[in-house]
Amino acid sequence: MRFPAEPFRIKVVEPLRYVSREERARLLAGAGLNIFQVPADSIYIDLLTDSGTSAMSDSQWAGLMVGDESYAGSRNFYNLERAVREITGYHRMIPTHQGRMAENLLFSTLVRPGQIVPNNSHFDTTRANVEAQGAEALDLVIDEGLDPTFDHPFKGNLDVAKLERLFETHGREKIPLVMITVTNNSGGGQPVSIANARAVREVCDRYGVPLFFDACRFAENCYFIQEREPGYASKSVREIARELFACAVGCTMSGKKDGLVNIGGFLAFNDDSLAERVTNLLLRIEGFPTYGGLAGRDLEGMARGLNEVLSEDYLAFRINQVRNLGAMLDQAGVPIVKPVGGHAVYIDARRFLPHIPQSQFPGQCLVVVLYRDYGIRAVEVGSLMFGHRDPQTGQDVFPKLDLVRLAIPRRVYTSEQMRYVAQSVIEIHRERDAMRGLRLEYEAPVLRHFTARLRELEPATVQT
Ligand code: P70
């Protein structure tokens, strides 16, 4: 049996502070019920994100000591370049301080106002970076990907027929590139199959448009391919990664996910003239091309992390830790997105709290109670994160799904802590009828979820 218990032991521990319910309630009220504004040392289990929260290995920590902090030509740059080349096959690697800078560089170079960038689903920063160019960020995930109850092995797939129609309607001039996010974060951390990536590439080739991956969670995606896609069971995850990356011409990467580091990212592809254009911009806004906004030691940590993340013992543990949390919730009747994705369990807040309308942020209601009563931090991926007021009609626009994400940091929490999380959510689910909706008191014009302030509605105003 390929048993997915922790394939590591604990060498260093980080004590967690116990905070009373009263103190948590006070902190949350002071934060405008916005979990991003709560100090992290007041949180028991932090499932806000799997990004930048990984525990590094002894080898990665040792790698920091061989950081070469030369301004130009650091040896760690070459180590990272080699790691990226071996894994992806892309020979140009441009380091950035994190994923969103890779997005900014790529879209600033390729995208013009009025154009459309299709993706299976854009995540928040990707969408914001496309829109910052005056372009439209269009989500084309398959319909099954939008149904939280539909069991499909590759719910992250991009709808090829919709993509064809988009090209037929607008022509290639309007579409500067196509992106696929692996795994598809907004849709529940769902994987994309190689067959789908190939079919998308075929359409892109026909129209002469480049296909890029948003590759943050590529290793988790490749593990699912090995597990689920016909013909891949006997291939190594490393081989599968190489095959997957060959379907695109390049990628943006946040090393904070499957790079197993706390900071870092890169842009990688084979096109030398694109590299020249991106580098000119990089020099102005990020740094010299051999460090790109990072210290030499950070480059080394990421080079080692990218190789470690392809360990199949690690991936079996990782994917199954997340899956087991989902199974505990599912067995207790908590509505979750199925099948469970790679980095997180997503609770379907609209089914969890059917008495709270989308205009009262059901997902955020659950986030508030999870922290106040149990010290757990989750994140809303729904009306608060993606809802907005249409400037033309003045109407509120809500996303199709209202989810609460329990993102699991890599190699950080024990299975016992995961059980505590499951029990907490199950207890809230039993008491859900007493929960009340929220209203917005302040919102910023972009990425409002990071700084929004909310207030709990009085019982009298709750719609039932
Ligand atoms: C997350 C974080 C980052 C991300 C991503 C995809 C598919 C690019 C990026 C940007 C963001 C986040 C969300 C909620 C709470 C905290 C953090 N995703 N593409 O957790 O990468 O952060 O390195 O600039 O998921 O999903 P970077």
**pLDDT value of residue 399:** 87
**pLDDT value of residue 190:** 96
> Which of 34, 185, 404, 406 best tests ligand 1's pocket when mutated (most atoms within 8 Å of CB)?
185
**pLDDT value of residue 124:** 82
Q: Which atom of ligand 1 lies nearest, measured to the CA of 102?
A: 24
Bond prior to 339 in cis (omega within 30° of 0): yes
**Are the C-beta atoms of residues 342 and 191 closer than 8 Å to each other?**
yes
Q: How far apart are CA 373 and CA 22, in angstroms?
A: 9
Q: How far apart are CA 48 and CA 40, in angstroms?
A: 10
pLDDT at residue 165 greater than cutoff 80:
yes
Range scoring the smallest mean pLDDT among 28-32, 47-51, 187-191: 187-191
Q: What is the mean pLDDT of the chain?
A: 95
**pLDDT value of residue 3:** 53
> Which of 106, 125, 377 best tests ligand 1's pocket when mutated (most atoms within 8 Å of CB)?
125
Q: What are the CA-CA distances from residue 78 to residues 126, 303, 304, 329 (Å)? A: 27, 9, 12, 45
**pLDDT value of residue 312:** 96
Strand 211-214 versus strand 178-181 pairing type: parallel
Residue 374 confidence class, pLDDT cut points 50, 70, 90: very high
Ligand 1 lined by 126 (C-beta under 6 Å): yes
Question: ∠378-380-382 over CA atoms, to 5°?
Answer: 160
**Are the C-beta atoms of residues 182 and 221 closer than 8 Å to each other?**
yes
Residue 460 confidence class, pLDDT cut points 50, 70, 90: low
**Are the C-beta atoms of residues 399 and 387 closer than 8 Å to each other?**
yes
Write the single-letter amino acid at 444.
A
**pLDDT value of residue 445:** 81
Report how far ligand 1's centroid is from the alpha carbon of 52 (Å): 9
Q: Which atom of ligand 1 lies nearest, measured to the CA of 381?
A: 14
Ligand 1 lined by 265 (C-beta under 6 Å): yes
pLDDT tens figures, 241-272: 999 999 999 999 999 999 999 999 999 999 99
Report how far ligand 1's centroid is from the alpha carbon of 234 (Å): 31
Range scoring the smallest mean pLDDT among 44-58, 393-407, 450-464: 450-464
DSSP state of 3: -
Write the single-letter amino acid at 348.
D
**pLDDT value of residue 447:** 76
Instruction: Strands of 144-197 (E only): list them.
Output: 178-181
**Are the C-beta atoms of residues 72 and 288 closer than 8 Å to each other?**
yes
pTM for the predicted model, two decimal places: 0.95
Strand 396-397 versus strand 388-389 pairing type: antiparallel
Mean of the pLDDT values across residues 413-434?
97
Q: How far apart are CA 274 and CA 308, in angstroms?
A: 29
> Which of 123, 367, 449 best tests ligand 1's pocket when mutated (most atoms within 8 Å of CB)?
123
Closest CA to ligand 1's atom 2: 51
**Are the C-beta atoms of residues 436 and 459 closer than 8 Å to each other?**
yes
**pLDDT value of residue 4:** 75
Bond prior to 464 in cis (omega within 30° of 0): no
Q: Which atom of ligand 1 lies nearest, measured to the CA of 217?
A: 7
Report how far ligand 1's centroid is from the alpha carbon of 35 (Å): 16
Give DSSP secondary structure letters for 355-397.
TS-GGG-HHHHHHHHHHHHH-EE-EEESHHHH-EE-TTT--EE
Mean of the pLDDT values across residues 390-407?
89
Range scoring the smallest mean pLDDT among 48-57, 124-133, 258-267: 124-133
Residue 463 confidence class, pLDDT cut points 50, 70, 90: low
Residue 417 confidence class, pLDDT cut points 50, 70, 90: very high
Ligand 1 lined by 123 (C-beta under 6 Å): yes
Q: How far apart are CA 55 and CA 167, in angstroms?
A: 43
Alpha-carbon dihedral 340, 346, 349, 351, rounded to 10 degrees? 0
Closest CA to ligand 1's atom 16: 49
**Are the C-beta atoms of residues 184 and 141 closer than 8 Å to each other?**
yes
The owner of tokens 């980095």 is 343
**pLDDT value of residue 443:** 87
Report how far ligand 1's centroid is from the alpha carbon of 186 (Å): 10
Residue 448 confidence class, pLDDT cut points 50, 70, 90: confident
**pLDDT value of residue 1:** 42
Report how far ligand 1's centroid is from the alpha carbon of 113 (Å): 24
**pLDDT value of residue 461:** 54
